[in-house]
């Protein structure tokens, strides 16, 4: 029986700023050729999906960490942040020394002036993080943002006390995903805010319903805490060997790290390629 396969990008198909290996690419294309549906499931928005990843070819997309889902031109799920919640969230981020980017379907929009307020003398590591984020995520200045829905918020802050304050004040609306397994040499506290009820698990169910299949027929691959609902909803949830400890603890299986073709190894082992 054919399966529906769900793949996160960063830390799963490849590390940030890198391209998927030839073995990973050929395994996904081979699975599609054998009749399995392949779905990209990412925290990114549509404008920041790497070209090397999009070129693999997919049957559907989950974006914005599950707040959006689509197959072809059909939008299956769209859960933007309510405007009143967004306004209060931005105020709280600014008041607690957190830099941020608002994620939309037209790009990510950052308050670059906030970076200079938090770090008046911007250290090299912060500058590298800003530059890498801009390169990876299609980031524009907040002043240029059109009136469009916001689906997710990325943030970074210098100290644990700021993170604790954000959790206390924003936890009623959002779950927190921290990027502590994606960068080898960054000590900046960074992550994303995902609305409660807008997650990759819910989006997986919407995709499966579209194809007339059960989530039990799904196999999902992920590495981060924004993948946990997806791994739990799938018939088989596979955590990457380079994934966060809490994700590996709840997964059905753990595969080798993405730099060791972990996704390809599982697809080959299961005879899906």
Last residue of some domain: 169, 195, 221? 195
Our CA angle for 136, 140, 142, nearest 5°, is 135
Same domain, 256 and 129: no
Same domain, 111 and 188: yes
Same domain, 58 and 121: no
Answer yes or no: are the C-beta atoms of 152 and 104 closer than 8 Å: no
Name the pLDDT band for 183 (thresholds 50, 70, 90): low
d(CA 95, CA 148): 24
Same domain, 74 and 204: yes
Same domain, 64 and 94: no
In this prediction, residue 124 carries a pLDDT of 84
d(CA 189, CA 93): 14
pLDDT tens string 130-161: 887 877 788 999 999 999 999 999 999 988 99
Comparing C-alpha atoms, which of 203, 200, 255, 256 is closest to residue 225?
Answer: 200
The enclosing domain of 256 has a CATH number of: 3.40.50.1000
Same domain, 57 and 97: no
Pairing of strands 68-71, 74-78: antiparallel
Last residue of some domain: 195, 220, 236? 195
Same domain, 160 and 90: yes
Last residue of some domain: 130, 163, 195? 195
Domain of 177? Answer: 83-195
Number of structural domains, the chain? 2
pTM above 0.85, yes or no: yes
Lowest mean pLDDT segment, chosen from 33-37, 118-122, 193-197: 118-122
Same domain, 189 and 205: no
At residue 239, does pLDDT exceed 80? yes
User: What phi, psi does 264 have (nearest 5°)?
Assistant: -60, -40
Same domain, 190 and 94: yes
The enclosing domain of 89 has a CATH number of: 3.30.1240.10
Q: Residue 43 corresponds to which tokens in the numbers above?
A: 């925290």
CB half-sphere exposure, 184, CA atoms < 13 A:
2
Same domain, 172 and 116: yes
Same domain, 63 and 124: no
Q: Residue 59 corresponds to which tokens in the numbers above?
A: 């049957």
Same domain, 57 and 107: no
């Amino acid at each position: 029986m054919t399966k529906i396969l769900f793949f996160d990008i960063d830390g799963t198909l490849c590390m940030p700023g890198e391209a998927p290996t030839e073995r990973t690419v050929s395994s996904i294309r081979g699975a599609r050729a054998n009749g399995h549906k392949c779905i990209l499931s990412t925290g990114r928005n549509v404008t920041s999906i790497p070209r090397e990843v999009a070129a693999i070819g997919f049957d559907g997309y989950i974006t914005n960490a599950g707040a959006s889902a689509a197959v072809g031109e059909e939008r299956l799920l769209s859960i933007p942040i309510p405007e009143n919640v967004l306004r209060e969230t931005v105020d709280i981020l600014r008041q607690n020394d957190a830099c941020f980017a608002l994620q939309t379907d037209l790009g990510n929009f950052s308050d670059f002036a906030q970076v200079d307020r938090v770090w008046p003398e911007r250290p090299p590591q912060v500058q590298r993080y800003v530059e890498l984020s801009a390169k990876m995520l299609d980031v524009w200045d907040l002043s240029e943002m059109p009136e469009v829905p916001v689906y997710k918020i990325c943030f970074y802050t210098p100290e644990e006390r700021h993170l604790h304050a954000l959790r206390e004040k924003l936890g009623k609306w959002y779950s927190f995903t921290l990027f502590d397994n994606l960068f080898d040499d960054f000590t900046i506290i960074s992550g994303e805010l995902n609305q409660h009820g807008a997650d990759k698990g819910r989006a997986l169910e919407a995709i499966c319903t579209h194809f007339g299949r059960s989530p039990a027929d799904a196999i999902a691959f992920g590495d981060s805490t924004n993948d946990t609902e997806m791994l739990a909803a799938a018939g088989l949830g596979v955590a990457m060997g380079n994934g966060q400890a809490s994700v590996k603890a709840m997964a059905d299986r753990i595969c080798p790290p993405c730099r060791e073709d972990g996704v390809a190894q599982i697809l080959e082992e299961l005879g899906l390629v």
